[in-house]
Every structure is written in structure tokens, then in C-alpha cells.
Amino acid sequence: MTKRENPLGLWISRGVIWVLLSVVALIMIFPFLYMFFTSLKTTTDVFRAPPRLLPYSPVTVEVDGAQVNVYSFVIDGVERSMIVDTAAGTTQFGFFGAPSDINAADPQASANLRQIPMAEATPTGNRVTIGGQNFDEYTVTVDGETQTLLLAYRRGLRRFVALDDPNVETYAVERLAPLQEQVVFQWSNYNSVLNLRNLDRSLINTALVTVLVTAGQVVTSLLGGYAFSRIPFRGRNAVFLVYLGTIMIPFVVLIIPLYQLMVIIGWQNRLASLIFPWIFTAYGTFLMRQFFITIPKDLEEAAFLDGLSRLGILWRVFVPLSGPAIATQTIITFLYAWNSFVWPLVIINEGNT
């Protein structure tokens, strides 16, 4: 008798596996998502700390023909949308407190300070020393009561007025005021980059070279792999070993002779020099050969009986069965060709034309 599995336990185990795989997949894809959303941010939002995933932009309104930022303040327990009163300029405010409230080491960290315009404060001419620091004494009015307090520090503040009622006002440092923001994707960033120093032409050239190199390597690897795996000829294994051994030759050893060859042929500063030297690869040929060896010979013999040529067998039998190998080589070759830097830097000296 075969033991019957518990359906509930099977669903639970599958659910746990699905959750774990989803979490791992999200962790793996998160850096890509962050880079993508960062490309759609404004410059200010890119350098914001702490960083955010989605691109935010300030909410703006038109005032006197100009776009101004909208800020959010809580006035008397009500959250209001406010803008800077550009006509008012900067107002000097003093932050006053009792001697017991002053933090001599860091006056801006003092507790229970009163924010009062300097124009409404009257100096008494006295100074009080706290923790080795001197603080000026002023006479100020707080809640209708005249008090003598110490000036902890002063700061220039901007006047903010409510959008729906200009009589509602508050004062704050503009760069520290809480902006109202909304998610806005800056698709124009891509247009700006493409128009930067002929970058659109650079991308076209890179894509063209990458596609042609990838296609060339796949085609030559298919032909070479089939020849080394299925076509018997004298010295086949020896030739294959020599060809495979070229993988061990460092690229830096080939730069000078390859450069001289391109100059002799007349391919310097030509896209051909970025394509044709790289459409032959020992690694791709080795990959295809090893995969073709696993394909049963019965299929090849049946194709021979049906009258197919060597090329027909390769195209109609081997290629359809070699999807995983072709996909692997395509991905590896595409990444290599796209990220190629040293050889284009050496052989191309006239920019993107």
C-alpha cells in the first residue's frame, strides 16, 4: 500500500515554500527596483536622507506667475497648506529663555524657549554668564506679560501664509519647513540623459555591436560545436584541444597584435573592429559541443534517412533541442559585449559617428 499524503499538509508546505521564495525573490530584485525608481527622481530627492524608494516631488502652486512650493504646518491643531511670503523677506527672531532653561553647551538645544521677533525685544544692557558663556538679557512680552529673559540665539525666519486665508501666518526656516510632496515620475530624466553629449548615438552603437556580436558568437558556436561533436575528420580532437586552449590566453596579451591587425586591415575607428574579432569564441564552441554530444545519434541518423544535409540536420534537429545551451550562451555573450570597455577604448578614437 502506498501512503496517502495529507492534502492540508501538502498545501501548507507549498505555501511556506512559496512565501520563502517570494521573499528571497523580492530581496534579489529590490536593488534593481531602487535603481530604477532613483532614475525617475529629482536631484534633490536623490540625495535626500534617509532615502526613499518612490520618487517624490514638491507640490507647487502658481503665485503671481511663478511656481512656489507648498508647505504643511499645524496651526492651532489644524493642518494647513502654506506658502512663503516672498514679499516679507527674512525676519530676525530671538529665542529667549530663563537662565535655568539655557543650555550653555548647545544653546539651540535649550528647552522652553520663546520665539519672539527681535524688533519686539528690548535689551537691558546686562549680561549673564552661564557655563562660561555670556548671554544678553532682554525685556520681552510673553502672553501679555513683560518678562526679563536671556537671548539663547537668534535666527532669520521666513513668513509663511495659508493658501486659503492670508491672515493665518507662521514663521520658520524655509529649508527646514515640511514640504508637501507627491509621487511624480520624472520621465524627462531619460530625455535629458539621451541629449547629453550625443549619448543617444552611443547607446545605438553599443546596442548594435552587442546584438551583432551575440548573434555572431551563437552562430559560429553552433557550427563549430556541431563539427567537433558530429563530423569525423583527421585530427579533430587535437584541433579542438588547441582551440579550447586559447581560452587561457589573457586578453591583455592580444591587445597589441590585434590592434596592429585592425590598422593593417583599415578597421581602426570602425564598428567592424568591435564586431568581427569577437564573433568566434572557444568557450561557446565548447559549450555547444558538450551539449550536442548528449543528443542521441538516432535522431541524426533518422534525419539522414529523410534526406537532410548536415546543415539541415543542424538547423532542424539540433538547434530546436539546444534551447538551454543557446540561451545560456546568449546571456553570457550579451553581458560581455555590453560591458566591453577596454577594447573599444583602444580601437575607437573618433567618438560615436
pLDDT tens digits along 58-92: 999 988 888 899 999 988 888 999 999 888 889 89
pLDDT one-digit tens code per residue, 22-57: 999 999 999 999 999 999 999 889 998 889 999 999
92: Cβ contacts below 8 Å, ≥ 6 apart = 117, 118, 119, 154, 155, 156, 157
pLDDT one-digit tens code per residue, 90-145: 989 999 999 888 888 899 888 889 899 999 999 998 998 888 889 999 999 988 88
Query: What confidence score (pLDDT) does residue 197 get?
Result: 73
The alpha carbon torsion through 201, 205, 208, 213 (nearest 10 deg) reads -170
| Cross-strand pairs, 138 | 123, 149
CA separation for the pair 208, 202 (Å, rounded): 10
In the predicted structure, residue 4 carries a pLDDT above the cut 80? no
Is the overall model pTM greater than 0.85, yes or no? no
CA separation for the pair 114, 108 (Å, rounded): 12
For the chain, give every domain's residue range: 7-55, 60-179, 199-347
CB atoms under 10 Å from CB of 265, counted, come to 12
pLDDT one-digit tens code per residue, 321-351: 999 999 999 999 999 999 999 999 999 887 6
199-347 under CATH 1.10.3720.10, yes or no: yes
- Output 336-343 pairs: Cβ under 8 A, ≥24 positions apart: 337/209, 337/210, 337/213, 337/214, 337/278, 338/206, 338/210, 340/274, 340/278, 342/251, 342/255, 343/251, 343/255, 343/258, 343/274
DSSP state of 318: I
pLDDT band at 302 (very low <50, low <70, confident <90, very high): very high
Query: What confidence score (pLDDT) does residue 352 get?
Result: 58
Which of 25-34, 150-159, 298-307, 342-351 comes out lowest in average pLDDT?
A: 342-351
The chain-wide mean pLDDT, for the chain, equals: 90
pLDDT band at 165 (very low <50, low <70, confident <90, very high): confident
Mean predicted confidence (pLDDT) in 285-295: 93
User: Does residue 140 sit in helix, strand or coil?
Assistant: strand
pLDDT band at 278 (very low <50, low <70, confident <90, very high): very high
